Structures are given as C-alpha cells and as structure tokens.
Amino acid sequence: MILEYELSEENAKLCGLEDGEEIYYCLPLDIDLEGGYRSNSYTVMTNRRLLILEEGKLTQWYPLEKCDSIHSRAQTACGILFIEQGKEEILLGRFMTEHLTKYSYLLRGMVVLRNLYGGIKSDSTI
C-alpha cells in the first residue's frame, strides 16, 4: 500500500520543508468540493505540519501541535477529511473511496506524531 505518493518537484517546493522536517504521508485529494475528479492535489503530512496542495497550489497548512483532532467521514463514493482547532471544524478535502484505508493510516500517524507534541484525538469513522 502506497502511503507516500511521489510529489513533482514543483509540489515538493510548495511544501517548503524546513531543516529536520520530512514527509511521512502524501495521499491524493482526487475529488474537488463540487464532486468533480481532479489530479495534482494531495494531503501531505510531515513530522511537523499537515499541508493541503490543490491543483499545484499550497492552499492550507496547519502545525500539528495546533490541531486538536483529525477525523474523516466516509460518504457515498468518497471520504472527507477534517481537522478541529478549538471549536472550529475545518474541511480539508475529499478523496475517492479507494483511499479510505490509506487515510486511516494517515489519521493514526498524525495522532502518533501529534502525541509527541502533547495530544490529539482521532474521531475517524473510516
């Protein structure tokens, strides 16, 4: 099972990795918010941050220590990824059902990494 899809050089540059930061997971976000298929979009998790790349642009990023929880919801033909910061639930993106298991690994990995910084809960419904 592939949990770190290879990023193009351009997308890797968008991540702006700092000294000591490395990518642990990189998974496709292959459905847009309107339900259409897309490519060149990813959820990237490093040992420090969660990043969202959409169509060759860095659109969102969150330090792991500021994420209170991460969860996903299985829908018909897709999954939806969210984080919570305080009382705010933030939609990160949608992905095809073929990636549900991969995202469950990403969720668990984020919980493990986040625990190094002081705790995060996972409410995965996958």
Residues 6+ away with beta carbon under 8 Å from 100: 72, 74, 79, 126
For residue 124, the model assigns a pLDDT of 47
Burial 94-109 (b: 16+ CB within 10 A, else e): bbeeebeebbbebbeb
For residue 118, the model assigns a pLDDT of 54
The whole-model pTM stands at 0.88
The mean pLDDT of the chain is 88
- Side chain identity, residue 13: K
